[in-house]
Amino acid sequence: MTASLERVQERLAALGGGHRVVELDASARTAVDAARALGCRVDQIVKSLVFRGRRTDRAILVTASGANRVNEERVAELVDEPVEKADAAFVRARTGFAIGGVAPVGSTGPLTTVIDEDLLQWHEIWAAAGHPKTVFRLSPADLVQMTGGRVARVRA
């Protein structure tokens, strides 16, 4: 078990709610891959994207519906500073996760979190659990509670 997966499992246990990490046979590195492996819609996959605040250098996590392209200008407005997509080194340094396995919980550092309003239409959604082959099921309300994120329109 990887340290990042362990962190996610520990955080989920601490939060309560009975969320379980599921290990998939196939990669869930992309939203399309995850949906295919789970037999759900791409819209139900939580795509966790990390951006870097250009002024403050803070890590900003955008949890978007897997079917949506994120509008960086909109994210910049929401966090009140210009943003750019973070590179792999920044993502790992600030979250403890590799790209393709970034979970919305269990980060090693503080994150400003924005949640795509389009995720709220589903009863259940699926998020990465710290490794490209692991996910966990949750509700949109769980996502908001777990992350303390701000719900907003982020799609392009």
Q: What is the dihedral of CA 87, 108, 31, 88, to 10 degrees?
A: 20
What CATH number has the domain spanning 3-152? Answer: 3.90.960.10
Cβ-proximal residues to 39 (8 Å cutoff; 6+ apart), any chain:
none
- Asked if 130 and 4 touch (Cβ cutoff 8 Å), the reply is yes
Q: How confident is the model at residue 1 (pLDDT cuts 50, 70, 90)?
A: low
The reported pLDDT for the residue numbered 100 is: 86
- Asked if 64 and 154 touch (Cβ cutoff 8 Å), the reply is yes
The reported pLDDT for the residue numbered 3 is: 87
Q: How confident is the model at residue 29 (pLDDT cuts 50, 70, 90)?
A: confident
The reported pLDDT for the residue numbered 104 is: 96
Q: Rounded to an integer, what distance in angstroms lies between the CA atom of residue 54 and that of residue 84?
A: 7
pLDDT at 54 over 90: yes
- The chain-wide mean pLDDT, for the chain, equals 94
Residue type, 66: G
- Asked if 91 and 50 touch (Cβ cutoff 8 Å), the reply is yes
**Of 48-52, 59-63, 130-134, 151-155, the least confident:** 130-134
Q: What is the mean pLDDT of residues 46-58?
A: 97
**Residues 29-49 as b or e (16 or more Cβ within 10 Å = b):** bebebbbbbbebebbbbbbbb
Angle at 136 between CA 35 and CA 51, to 5 degrees: 80
